[in-house]
Amino acid sequence: MAVIRGLIAASLDGYVADPDGSVEALAPFGSVDHGYQRFIDQVGTVVMGRRTYDLIPSLGIGWPYAGKRALVLTSGRGASVREKTRFWTDGLPALVDHLRGLDDGDVWVVGGGRLMAGMIEVGALDRLELLVAPVLLGEGRSLFPRSSRGLRDMRLNGVEALERGVVLLDYALGAEVVVKRGRRKVVQVA
pLDDT band at 151 (very low <50, low <70, confident <90, very high): low
Q: What does the mean pLDDT of the chain come to?
A: 84
Please count the structural domains in the chain.
1
What is d(CA 132, CA 54) in angstroms, rounded to the nearest whole number? Answer: 24
Q: Determine, yes or no, domain membership for 21.
A: no
Note whether 91 and 29 are within 8 A (CB): no
- Examine the pLDDT at 190 and tell me if it is beyond 90: no
Q: Determine, yes or no, domain membership for 20.
A: no
**Length of the chain measured in residues:** 190
The predicted structure's pLDDT at residue 62 = 85
What's 146's domain CATH number? 3.40.430.10
How much is the average pLDDT of 149-159? Answer: 79
Of 43-52, 142-151, 168-177, where does the model show the most confidence?
43-52
The predicted structure's pLDDT at residue 189 = 36
Strand order in the sheet with 154-161: 85-88, 69-73, 43-49, 106-110, 4-11, 127-133, 167-173, 154-161
Note whether 123 and 175 are within 8 A (CB): no
Note whether 12 and 136 are within 8 A (CB): yes
Q: Determine, yes or no, domain membership for 133.
A: yes
DSSP state, residue 175: -
Q: Determine, yes or no, domain membership for 55.
A: yes
What is d(CA 31, CA 27) in angstroms, rounded to the nearest whole number? Answer: 8
- Examine the pLDDT at 178 and tell me if it is beyond 50: no
Dump pLDDT digits (tens) for 84-131: 889 999 989 999 999 999 999 999 999 777 888 889 888 899 999 999
Dump pLDDT digits (tens) for 110-121: 977 788 888 988
What is d(CA 92, CA 120) in angstroms, rounded to the nearest whole number? Answer: 11
- Examine the pLDDT at 13 and tell me if it is beyond 60: yes
Q: Determine, yes or no, domain membership for 110.
A: yes
Count of CB atoms situated within 10 Å of the CB of 159: 10
Q: Determine, yes or no, domain membership for 31.
A: no
Q: Determine, yes or no, domain membership for 27.
A: no
The predicted structure's pLDDT at residue 75 = 86
Residue type, 73: L
CA dist list (Å): 54 to 71, 75, 168: 13, 14, 26
The predicted structure's pLDDT at residue 163 = 95
Note whether 129 and 109 are within 8 A (CB): no
What is d(CA 27, CA 166) in angstroms, rounded to the nearest whole number? Answer: 12
Q: Determine, yes or no, domain membership for 22.
A: no
Note whether 58 and 64 are within 8 A (CB): no
pLDDT band at 182 (very low <50, low <70, confident <90, very high): very low
Boundaries of domain holding 139: 4-14+36-187
- Element spanning 71, H or E: strand 69-73
